[in-house]
Amino acid sequence: MTVTTPLGQVLRDEEGMRLEFVRIYEDPVEDVWAALTQPERVARWLGTVSGDPDTGTVEFVMAEDESGTPATVTIVECEPPTQLVVDMPGPDGVWRLSVCLDAEGSRTTLVFVQRLAEPYDAGDIGPGWHYYLDRMGAVIAGDEVTDKWDDYYPSLRDAYAVPD
């Protein structure tokens, strides 16, 4: 099934441009937080995390690059179970990623943001985060996790590209 509807958007604000996704889960904030931070759960949807987060850094390997060299991810802010901000090496420099969780009863709203560097084009990264957040949703729901990257890219590329 080819995914053609973007669930995120590229927005301009006072700091520049950002890629933003908002997801709502019918699960308590603690469960969503665990999917974001427990290494065994993160491994199911995003990649392998190792090391002690109390040191301020962890080593990380993306799921599609299982044999790759671990990258050092810096934990900028961590306020369980509502706020996580990290700096992660990306192909074009350091990516600032933030996740904010808001609990409302047994529901949780997740807001994922990646700050974009010039030229502000999220056409290649937007489909990726869309794919990984769908995988995270499957982990939270206890469903099968998709490995069908081709369902997301290139079909979503133009939807996340920033117009001139």
Q: How confident is the model at residue 163 (pLDDT cuts 50, 70, 90)?
A: low
Cβ(128)–Cβ(6) under 8 Å?
Answer: no
Quick one: pLDDT at residue 121? 81
pLDDT tens-digit readout, 57-110: 999 999 888 788 999 999 999 999 999 999 999 888 899 999 999 999 999 999
Count of domains for the chain: 1
CA distance 26 to 21: 17
User: Does residue 78 fall inside a structural domain?
Assistant: yes
What is the pLDDT averaged over residues 160-164?
75
- What is the residue range of 97's domain? 8-141
Residue 158 lies in a domain: no
| Residue 9, both tokens | 């958007």
List the CATH number of the domain containing 105.
3.30.530.20
Residue 123 forms part of a structural domain: yes
- Global pTM value: 0.94
> Cα dihedral sign for 109, 17, 94, 71?
positive
